[in-house]
Amino acid sequence: MTAPSPDSDTTPTIVLVHGAFAESASWNGVVPELQRRGYPVVALANPLRGLRSDATYLRSYLDSVEGPVVLAGHSYGGVVMSEAAEGAAGVTALVYLASFTLEVGESANELSSKFPGAKLGTAAQPVPFVTGEGSGADVYIDQSRFHEVFAADVPSDTARLMAATQRPIAAAALDEPATKAAWRTIPSWTLIATQDLAIPAESQRFMAERAQSHTVEIDASHAVTVSQPVAVADLIDAAARGVTDV
């Protein structure tokens, strides 16, 4: 995939990083909103194999983009972008969307259970896998519970489609500790989904406050990129323009 060229030296490319149990199509409502506002956009396919390997993959793409970049990550995608963006000269802003904002040494599983309210663990289904390089377990969400725990404010027919097309994540990736925290040196914006049953809102607030992130709260499920694409695009747009009063 060839990186798009920004329209000008100051217009950033928006790179969107999906999380676990989602795929690039989860940004389908957000992308046209951003394009309409004049931004070149890429919804990257996150491998979901392991934190450091996923971050290396993302960083290799970032290094191919000319000009400034605004990174937006949903859920586990925020972990990957925090790891990948440290030291990336072109990245001007980080946008965390119902996401993890991890400190060095923390894992996604650790922060998802730091505060009560998460139901995703009870709906998780491990499935062993074998590849030419090794073996492990993928984690899926039970399709019968996908609507309830991941996308409660998404129409039921859309949620069924999302459940059937969900991308599993290697279980080890959720336990892999962060080694970098790009939010310490790059300005960040955070959207907190107050009805989130995957990463409780209290956990999102804790991480956002620790990162001194510019924060908005939305009455939405974990699948906020699907249910509230305009609000998501608004925050990414604000980050791209450096607007801190959100």
Residue-wise pLDDT tens digits, 4-55: 444 456 899 999 999 999 999 999 999 999 999 999 999 999 999 999 999 9
**What gap in Å lies between CA 131 and CA 242, rounded to an integer?**
44
Cα 188 to the chain's mean position, in Å?
13
Strands annotated E in the chain: 13-17, 41-44, 69-74, 91-97, 124-131, 134-141, 169-170, 188-193, 214-218
Domain spans, the chain: 13-118+177-241
Query: Distance of CA 218 to CAs 70, 87, 111, 204, 234, Å?
Result: 21, 31, 20, 12, 12
The residue among 96, 54, 38, 41 whose CA lies nearest residue 72 is 96
Q: Are 111 and 200 in contact (CB under 8 A)?
A: no
Helices 51-62, 76-85: crossing angle, 10 deg rounding: 60
Question: What predicted TM-score, i.e. pTM, was given to this entire model?
Answer: 0.94
**What gap in Å lies between CA 128 and CA 134, rounded to an integer?**
11
pLDDT at position 3, please?
A: 44
For the cut 90, the answer to whether the pLDDT of residue 222 exceeds it is yes
Q: If you average pLDDT over every residue of the chain, what do you get?
A: 94
The residue among 40, 12, 46, 23 whose CA lies nearest residue 165 is 23
CATH class of 13-118+177-241: alpha beta
pLDDT at position 121, please?
A: 87
pLDDT at position 9, please?
A: 65
**What gap in Å lies between CA 98 and CA 75, rounded to an integer?**
6
Q: Looking at residues 97-109, what average pLDDT do you find? A: 97
